[in-house]
Chain A
Amino acid sequence: MSVSPPATALVLEDQDETRLHLLVALGLAFPGIDARGARTLREARALLDPPAARPWTPDLALVDLVLPDGSGIDLLRQISDRPGDTRAVVVTIYADDGHLFDAIAAGACGYLLKDMGADDLVRYLHRLEEGETPLSPAIARRMLGYFRDQPRVPDTLEPLAALTPRETEVLRLIGRGLRSGEAAKVMGVAEQTVAGYVKAIYRKLNICSRAEAALEAARRGLV
C-alpha cells in the first residue's frame, strides 16, 4: 500500500463523459497525476502491456464492470495476478452486493459509484488512498455468509482462508450498519486497526476465490 499519492492511473470506462468525469476527478484529487483512459478491455490491456515496450504498472486503476468487449472483472483478475502494486478500484453504476462481491473477490480494493458528484468522488479517492477500504453493510453480510458456508479447502490454504474472530466481529458490526469508526469504538480498538481487518478480509476473499478457481479447474481436469 502506497502512502504517497498515486502518480499514475488507468481509467477503464466506455462512456466518454463518465471517463472524462473520472479523469477530471483524479486530476483534482491528485494534482499532476498521469491518468490514461481506455474505452475497452483491449485498449486497457494494450496500455498495461504495450506490444513493444515494458509493461506499465499504474499506481491506481479505476475499472468499470460492464464493458463492450467483456467484463471488468477479468481485468481486475489480471491486475491482481501481475507483479507490481496496482490498487484496483471498481467504478460501477450498480452498487449491488452481487457485482461488488465478485469484484472484491477478483482483487478490487474499493469501489466508486458513477453517480457521485465530482466533490464526492474526490473525497472518496482521497479516503481510498489513505488506506480506507470501503465496506457496505450488504457486502459485509454477504462476506460473513460466504466465509461461514465456505467448503473446506485443502490444509495449505486454510490459515489464509479462514477469518479470525476479530475479522468476523468487524463484518458483523458493519453488517449491522456501523461505520468502521463506530465498529472500532465498539471493539475498543483504533479505527486504523479496523481498516487493517477490512483489508485483510478483502485479501482473504481474493485468495479464497482464487483457491476455488484452482480447485474447480483441478476438478474439471483443466490443470
Chain B
Amino acid sequence: MRVSSPSTLLLGVVFFCIAAALTAVSLSTGPTWLGVGLDAASADGPVVVARVDTDGPAARAGVRVGDRLVAAAGIPLTGQSLDDDDSQATQALSDAAMRRHDAMAEALKVRPVRLTVQSPGGPVRMVTLEDRPRPLSTLGVEFWANLSFGLIAALICGWVWALRPRELATQLFALTGLSMLAFTFGWAVHASLELAMDAAVLEPVLWLNMGGAVAYGGAMIAFFLSYPRRVTRLPLMLLAPVCVGIWAALPLLPGNPSLDSLGQGVTVIEMALIVVAIGVQAFASRKDPAAMAATRWLGLSVILGAGAFIVSVAAPASLGRGSLIDPRFALGFFVIIYIGMAVGLRRHKLFELDQWAFRILFYLGAGAALLILDAVLLAVLRYSPEASLGAALLVVAFAYLPFRDVLWRRTVARRTMKDHEMFAAVAQVALTHEAGARDAAWRDLLARVYEPLEIAAAPPGTDLARAAIVGEGVAMSLPPAAGAPALLLRFPARGRGLFGTAQLQLADQLASLLGQIEEGRDAYARGVVEERLRIARDLHDDVGARLLSGLHRKELSQTHEAMRGAIGDLRAIVSGLSGHELPLDDVLADLRHETAERLAAAGLTLDWPPPEDDAPGPAAPYRVYKNLTSTCREVISNAIRHAHAQRVAVTVHQSRERLDMIISDDGVGMPREPGGRRSGLANLQRRLGEIGGEVEFPDVAQGTVVRLSVPLNLGPAT
C-alpha cells in the first residue's frame, strides 16, 4: 500500500477538520432562527424565554426575557416540547419526542413565523418574526467550545497518525480523536438548538454524539491494550465498532431502553475498562523503563482528564446533585488528555516520533497562519485578495518564521551548550596533556552536554565503534575516547528526558571531533620527535664527523678548517634548513654571493652571469644543497690557494631534472700525476656521488675546468 507523505496526510486531516466545522455551522444555522433561548421548569410546565439574542428576530418583535412562549407557528408548547434526548425511559418514547420535533420544525418553515407570547402579568399576544439568517455569534459559547474541543483532539491525533499512518497504535489513537470529534460535534450542534430541528438532521446528530462517546471508550481501551506494548493479538481495531454495535443493538432488549440512557451506561463501563487496560499495560511494560514512562504519562493524562470529568460532572449528576462546573464545558477535560499526549511526544518520545514531528507541525503552522491571516485581512480590512495575500505572506515571513524558530529551539533543539563553546571544550579535552586529567575533562564535558544522572564505564559487550542508544533511550553508550574507556550515560537531562537521535548524532560528532583534534595533536607530537631525531642525526653525521676529522688532522690550519666546516653545518642544522626542500634559485644565489665575496677578498674576479629573471625554479632537497655547496666551496678554495688564478668563471645549466655547473679558472692547472692535489678531487667525487652526481675534469690547455652534474630529484634519503 502506498502511503502519502506526512505533510499530505496532515493536510488531509486539516481539511477534514475544516469540513467538519463548516458542516456543524451549516447544520446549526439551518433551522428557522427565532433568536431566543428557552427553558422549562418541568415537562408539563410553561416554556419561558431565558435569553433573547440582541437584535435577533424575537428581540425586534418585542419579546423579552421572562415572557412565556405559549405557542410557535400555532403549535402549543409545554416543557415536553423541549425534551429531545434527555431522560426518555424507552427508545419508543424517544422516537415519539423526535416526531414532535420534526412536526415543529416543519411548522416553523412556514413564513412568516408567528409566536404566541405572554409577558408576566400581560395579555397573550401574537408576534411576527422577521425572516433573517442566523449570525454565527448567536450559536453560543457551548457550540463553539465543544466544537473546538473536538477539533483540537482530532488535529492532535491526526498529526500523530499522519507521521506513522501504518501503525496500529497511531491508528487507534487517531480513532479516539475521530470519536471525540463525532461526540463533540453532536454535542455542539445540539447545543445550538433553539426550539426544533428536522428529525432527519437531529437524529443523526444525537446518534453521533452518543455513538462517538461509546466509540471513544472502545478506542481508548484498544489503544491502551496496544501501546506502548501490544498486550493481545486480538483485532483491537474492531473493538470500537463492536462497542458501538452492541450499544446500537441494545434497544432490542426487553423494556426497549433508549439509546441515550444506554449510552451513558456503556460509557461509564468503558471508563472503568480504560483504567483496567492502563493497569494491564503498566503490568506488561513494567520491565521496560521507556514503555513504563510512556504508559505512566499517557495513563495519567487519561485518568486525570476523564477522572476530572467524572468527578466534576458525571458523578454529581448520578448522585442527583448539581455538577461542580458548568457541564456544558465539561468536555474540555478530554482535551487535557490530548494536550498531555502532545507534550508527552516531546518528553517521552511517544510513538518514537522525534524532532521531525515538530518540524512538520511548524511548517504546516506557517501554512495555516498564512491562510488564516489572509482570511482575516480579507474579511476585516477588506483588502483586495492580492493585497491581502501579499500582506499575509509578509507577516508570516517576518513574524511567524522567527516565532517558529524560537518554538523550535524551545521545544526540540534545546542544547545545554552553544556550538562554539562545545568546540572549545572538545579542543580543551583533546589538548589536555595528562591522560588522567583528559579522561576527567571528557567526562566533565559529557556531564555538561547531556546532564546525565550517572556516567559509568560501559559494561562488556558494548558497541565500541559508535555511540548507541541503550534501553529505549534511558542510556547511551559512547565508544572509548580521550583515554577514557567506553562510557555509559544514564538518565539524561537530569533524569527528565531520554536519549534520542539528536543526542546520538551529537555524541558521534563530539567523538569524531575529539578524534580529529587528538590526531592533529599526535601528528604534531610526532613531528616534534622527528625533528629532534633529525637534529640528533645531523649533529652526529655532520658536525661529529667534521670535529673528528679536525681532531685527527696534523696541521693546525686543517683543524681550523674542519672546525669552521663543523660550525657551518651547525648553522644549517640550527636554522632548520636541513631536511627541507629549498628553492634552487635561492641556493644558487647564496652560493654565488658567497663565492663572489670570497674571490673578491682574495683579489680574484668572478665571472658568473647573474640569473636573468625571477621565475621560480625547481626546489632542491637539502642534501643537494649541502653537497653542491660544499663541493663548490672546495673547488673555489682550490682555485684561490693552489691554482694561482686571476679569474674564475662559473656557468650554470639547469633543467628540471639536472643541474650542471662548470667552474673554470685561468690558473696553473692540475698536476697530471696522482696524489697531492688530485687526492682532494676524490673527496669531491665521493661527496657528489652521495647524491648521485658526477664530477669531471676535462683536459684543457690552460687552467682547470671542473664540471659538476647533480640530479635534482632524489630518491629516499640513504
Contact = CB atoms under 8 A, between A and B. Distances in A.
B575 interface: yes
Contact of B593 (A96, A114, A136): A136
Contacts of A93: 567, 570-571
B585 interface: yes
B593 A177 contact: yes
Residue of B564, B570, B610, B614 contacting most chain A CB atoms (<10 Å): B610
A138 B590 contact: yes
Given A123-B601, A138-B586, A179 B593 contact: yes
Nearest to B574: A94
B235 interface: no
A80 to B, nearest CB: 25
Interface in B381-397: none
B574 A182 contact: no
Contacts of B596: 177-179, 182
A97 B575 CA distance: 8
Contact of B586 (A98, A137, A172, A174): A137
Contact of B614 (A97, A136, A172, A186): A172
B63 to A, nearest CB: 86
Given A93-B567, A123-B601, A137-B586, A177 B574 contact: no
Contact of A98 (B570, B575, B590): B575
A95 interface: yes
B600 A95 contact: no
Contacts of A91: none
Give the contact-size bracket for chain B: 20 to 34
Interface in A171-186: 172-179, 182, 186
B592 interface: yes
A184 to B, nearest CB: 13
Interface string B552-592: 00000000100110011011001101000000011011111
Nearest to B597: A179
Interface string A168-203: 000011111111001000100000000000000000
A96 B586 CA distance: 14
B591 A177 contact: yes
B255 interface: no
Interface in B514-568: 560, 563-564, 567-568
Interface string A67-109: 0000000000000000000000000011111100000000000
Contact of B610 (A114, A120, A178): A178
Nearest to A141: B586
B574 A137 contact: no
B611 interface: yes
B591 A179 contact: no
Interface in B595-624: 596-597, 600-601, 610-611, 614
Residue of A96, A98, A172 contacting most chain B CB atoms (<10 Å): A96
A93 B571 CA distance: 8
A173 B588 CA distance: 13
B614 A137 contact: no
B610 A115 contact: no
Contacts of A114: 567
Residue of B568, B591, B592 contacting most chain A CB atoms (<10 Å): B592
B571 A136 contact: no
Contact of A177 (B567, B570, B592, B601): B592
A195 to B, nearest CB: 15
Given A173-B610, A179-B597, A186-B610, A95 B571 contact: yes
Given A123-B601, A141-B586, A182-B610, A174 B593 contact: yes
Nearest to B612: A176
Given A137-B589, A138-B590, A176 B575 contact: no
Contacts of B590: 136-138, 177
Contacts of A117: 560
A138 to B, nearest CB: 6
Given A172-B614, A176-B611, A179-B596, A96 B589 contact: no
A177 B600 contact: no
* Interchain residue pairs A-B with the least CB separation, the first 5: A177-B589, A177-B592, A96-B575, A137-B589, A115-B567
Given A97-B575, A138-B590, 15 more contacts: A93-B570, A94-B570, A94-B571, A96-B571, A98-B575, A115-B568, A123-B601, A141-B589, A172-B614, A176-B614, A177-B592, A177-B593, A177-B611, A178-B610, A182-B596
Interface of B: 560, 563-564, 567-568, 570-571, 574-575, 577, 585-586, 588-593, 596-597, 600-601, 610-611, 614
